[in-house]
Amino acid sequence: MIAEMEFFVDPHRCIGCHACEHACAECDTHKGHSMIHIEYVERSTSVQTVPVVCMHCDSPTCADVCPADAIKRSADGRVMTARKPRCIACSNCVLACPFGVPKMMTELELMMKCDMCFDRTSTGRKPMCATVCPSEALFFATRAEVELRRGRSRPTNEFRFGDQTVTTKVHMIVPRGRTESHLDVTTAMHDKPTSGLIALNILTNVLVPVEGAS
């Protein structure tokens, strides 16, 4: 039996190089547009970045709110880009997605989003972003390989938005010591970066003495 390949996101490994964005734009089905983007966690106090990809929800809100039934899931659980003949460019999906993923391409009158490079992964290849990520923040592998190479971490695919719980096909890597079975996204939005992050304290009123200056 062949082990299933899965998509893992490890935000702690993201170095903000944007290689994933450039590689994604080269995907044949994306018409030159990147379906992944890099966000700063707390720009005023940290340089920490995180890659934002479609998490491919088990019960996708984007599809639930689509009035034209343009968004479908594949047999293996991927949530696909809206189908051009049906999409009416209403942006309901853009507003409803809890992860902020769908993009309304106004020039195309079409919602486009990450489909985990269906044209590549359906033939046994890795998604474009995972092939170029130098720090393996985006990782496409078997569960056994992740457990072997990330001994201090574990994957989770359960997210909490207030009272709503969302489970996904894509897994987020979290520290193994976390006792929670889910990530509370709403609470995390209000948390400030703590230890382990680099702060850029360059905008201060402190005058730094220069040797030799009078």
Q: Is position 213 within any domain?
A: no
| Predicted pLDDT of residue 1 | 52
- Domain assignment present for residue 193? The answer is no
Torsions phi, psi for 145 (to 5 deg)? -70, -40
Overall domain count for the chain: 1
pLDDT at residue 192 is higher than 70? no
Question: HSE of 179 in the Cβ direction (CA atoms, 13 Å)?
Answer: 0
Q: Classify residue 29: in a domain, yes or no.
A: yes
Q: pLDDT band at 207, cuts 50/70/90? A: very low
Mean of pLDDT values over 60-85: 93
Segment among 48-52, 114-118, 201-205 with least mean pLDDT? 201-205
Residue 199 lies in a domain: no
Q: Does 210 fall in a domain?
A: no
Q: How would residue 184 be classed by pLDDT, with cut points 50, 70 and 90? A: low
DSSP state, residue 73: B
pLDDT in tens, 16-67: 999 999 999 988 777 788 999 998 887 778 788 889 999 999 999 999 999 9
The whole-number pLDDT of residue 61 equals: 94
Q: List the one residue out of 163, 159, 85, 101 whose CA is nearest residue 93.
A: 101
pLDDT in tens, 124-161: 889 999 999 999 999 999 999 998 988 888 999 999 88
Residues 197-210: what's their mean pLDDT? 44
Name the least confident of 72-76, 94-98, 197-201.
197-201
Residue 206: the pLDDT is 44
Q: Round to whole Å and give the CA distance between 63 and 69.
A: 7
CATH number (domain holding residue 67): 3.30.70.20
Closest CA to 70 of 94, 49, 98, 35: 94
Host H or E run for residue 110: strand 110-112
61, two tokens? 């809100």
Domain that holds residue 107: 5-188
